[in-house]
Amino acid sequence: MANADTHATPPKTPSSGPDPILLTLFANRFMSVAEAMGRSLQQTSISTNIKERLDFSCALFAPDGDLVANAPFIPIHLGSMSFAVKYQMRLHGKTLKEGDVLMTNSPHAGGSHLPDITIITPVFDSNTNEIIFFTASRGHHADIGGILPGSMPPTSVNIFEEGANIESFKIVDGGVFDRKGLVEYMIEKPSQYPGSSGCRNLRDVESDLKAQIAANHKGVQLIHQIIEDYGLQTVQEYMYHIRANAEMSVRNLLKDVAKRAGSNILTAVDYLDDGSPINLKVEINETAGSAVLDFAGTGCEVRGNLNSPISVVHSAVIYCMRAMLDIDIPLNAGCLVPLDIRIPPKSLLSPSRTAAVCGGNVLTSQRIVDVVLKAFHACAASQGCTNNLTFGTGGKDKDGASVAGWGYYETIAGGSGAGPGWHGTDGVHTHITNTRIGDVEILERRYPVMVHRFGLRHGSAGLGKWHGGEGVVRDLEFLEPMQVSILSERRTRQPYGMEGGGPGAMGRNTWIKQPRREDGDLDAEGNRTTREINIGGKATVYMGKGDKLVIETPGGGAWGVDENARHGKKEAPEHARAWEPRGSFAERAAAQAAF
């Protein structure tokens, strides 16, 4: 990024080494800013997605747009938000002023998928009026329009079917909130496309966007406090020291990997359920501690929505690098400095501007992580999915007029992969997502849904010396007619094991359809019968009252040969661990106890 795109020229990293105590102190101070932003966002939001599921991220960025520090939020957000900040800097140049706040979600502008809306706030030096930092937050909003409630249509074939696509919008201009512009972007523009609706619940979306704006402002205040304590020069010097420390850590990791592997060439390939390959060749320069990650051989852009924006690919790679480091450092832009990521044009990892991408962010990203970790021989495959469930009402009536409604979205856990020395984990959101599922009590209270079963899917884990994690079963009954969609992977290909370990079980989505006379659901004697229908990995179904959807998520792959199986014995994996209270109420109680 050229300095002309910023208000302030980044200071050069001093030649003298950093004080190790101050380095740790500033790393934690910067992370604490992001953590405080996150607490503010959770406390002031109203949607289930942000308040209960914690599907949001907050981070701090340098004046050149590079990621400085973040709290442990959503990895898929954190690596790509830097692309969004830099895009807005190129677009607006030096026209930004105090009191401006930008909003964007376009994959072309550094976004992930359209429901993830990014709010960016520049931080100005009170003396020179130059930009010295950026604060940013990204949250997944339950509905932003498109062809289906929840804005995650399993069958979308272009970006316009997935909802509002906002390249850049100054949601706050000089301290004034632009609600008229928000209505235009969220309701009027997306509803112009055939079959698409505008945002079905603007009240909730607007409230959560204001919560993001407030969280960013909280970060601005805390940054100014740090500068007041230490001075701008020292703060920015240690900002770049932290980045240099992350860079050196990744260089040492690459050298160690090449030494252990006995080769500087690593390769891996895995496939999406539709057969599209994701191919990776890693070439390590052991002397410099750098690497080229070349995705040549990856499949072409797909007609569906499993295309993954370039920013998401970088997010997956930076996550893998940070996950393989055995030291405690903030995830930041320094992790990418030693890496040359090469993505073939016109591939599903570099799609066209109008390609559908809502599944690429949540599904293809998981497969990219599996491929990178497979190449580095780090662990077996995890469930490779986030099992995206959306349901709701609203859209357009027979005359094409928009009808108010609502949309709900959740992701569902599965099994994680085992590694050399550890078992996989049961029923966990794996790798790139790090979200949680909403509490059953809250779901049933807010929506016309009953959860009949939510527990581990026994027998789904891969068996080996170190076994994989179990998937889960989620059985929901719909108490009113509504549109229900599932967007999932690993329904035709098992999560692989490594070093002789067995694969995890594939997932399955089953519609339990109640008998309806108009559908001809009769047996040989003329009695109406319940039907069980496998709807596949990606489907939209109009559920009637009393219909159920049973989602069985994939297990994780195992690591190493199972000696019992080798001798004709087969024992189910045992997961002995103490019970821990979980859920939003337990989290709230723990937070109150911390104060």
Task: Write the DSSP string, 57-123.
Answer: EEEEE-TTS-EEEE-S--HHHHHHHHHHHHHHHHHHTT---TT-EEEE--GGGT-SSTTEEEEEEEE
Q: What CA–CA distance (Å, rounded) separates 444 from 433?
A: 24
Q: What is the mean pLDDT of residues 532-559?
A: 96
Instruction: Report, as an integer, the average pLDDT of 549-564.
Output: 93
| 505 pLDDT higher than 90 | yes
**pLDDT of 11 higher than 50:** no
Task: Give strand pairing partners of 317.
Answer: none
The pLDDT value recorded for residue 251 is 95
What is the pLDDT of the chain when averaged over all its residues?
89
Instruction: Please give the pLDDT value at position 402.
Output: 55
The pLDDT value given to residue 565 = 60
Q: What sign does the CA torsion over 587, 589, 592, 593 have?
A: negative
What confidence category does residue 581 fall into, taking pLDDT thresholds of 50, 70 and 90? low
- Is the per-residue pLDDT at 10 higher than 90? no
Tens digit of each residue's pLDDT (9 = 90 or more) over 412-453: 999 999 999 999 999 999 998 888 887 899 899 999 999 999
Distance CA 488, CA 539 (A): 9
- The predicted structure's pLDDT at residue 150: 87
Predicted confidence (pLDDT) at residue 9 exceeds the cutoff of 50 = no
Q: Does 385 or 529 have the greater pLDDT score?
A: 385
> Which helix (H) or strand (E) is 543 found in, with range?
strand 538-543
Rounded to the nearest 10 degrees, the angle between the axes of helix 232-261 and helix 202-230 is 100
pLDDT at 379 over 90: yes
More confident residue, 461 or 49: 461
Residue 352: pLDDT over 50: yes
Please check the confidence at residue 256 and state whether its pLDDT lies above 80: yes
- When pLDDT is cut at 50, 70 and 90, the band that residue 327 belongs to is confident
What's residue 399's pLDDT?
Answer: 56
The DSSP string of 467-521 is ----EEEEEEEESS-EEEEEE---SSSPPPPBTTPPPPPPPEEEEEEPP-GGGT-
| pLDDT at site 78 | 74
Q: What pLDDT was estimated at residue 52?
A: 87
Average pLDDT, integer, range 578-585: 52
The pLDDT of residue 142: 85
CB burial string 176-205: b at 16+ within 10 A, e below: eebeeebeebbbebbbebeebbbbbbbebb
- pLDDT band for position 1 (50/70/90)? very low
Mean pLDDT of 325-348: 89
> With 80 as the cut, is the pLDDT of residue 86 above it?
yes
- The pLDDT of residue 591 is 60
> Mean pLDDT across the stretch 556-578?
66
Least trusted range by pLDDT, from 246-250, 298-302, 507-511: 246-250
pLDDT at 576 over 90: no
Please give the Cα distance from 112 to 120 (Å, whole number).
15
DSSP letter for each residue of 318-375: HHHHHHH--S-----GGGGTTEEEE--TTBTTS--TTS--HHIIIIIHHHHHHHHHHH
Percent of the chain with pLDDT over 70: 88
Whether 579 has a pLDDT exceeding 50, the answer reads no
pLDDT tens readout for residues 177-231: 999 999 999 999 999 998 899 998 899 999 999 999 999 999 999 999 999 999 9
Grade residue 3 by pLDDT with cuts at 50, 70 and 90: very low
**Which band of pLDDT confidence, cut at 50, 70 and 90, is reported for residue 479?**
very high
Nearest to 435 by CA among 140, 39, 55: 55
Higher pLDDT, residue 12 or 95 = 95
| Total-model pTM | 0.87
What does the pLDDT read at residue 16?
61
**Residue 8 binned pLDDT confidence (cut-offs 50, 70, 90):** very low
Average pLDDT over residues 339-346: 96
Q: What is the pLDDT of residue 515?
A: 84
Lowest-confidence region among 61-65, 123-127, 492-496, 563-567: 563-567
| Backbone angles phi and psi of 118, in degrees to 5 | -105, 130
Q: How confident is the model at residue 582 (pLDDT cuts 50, 70, 90)?
A: low
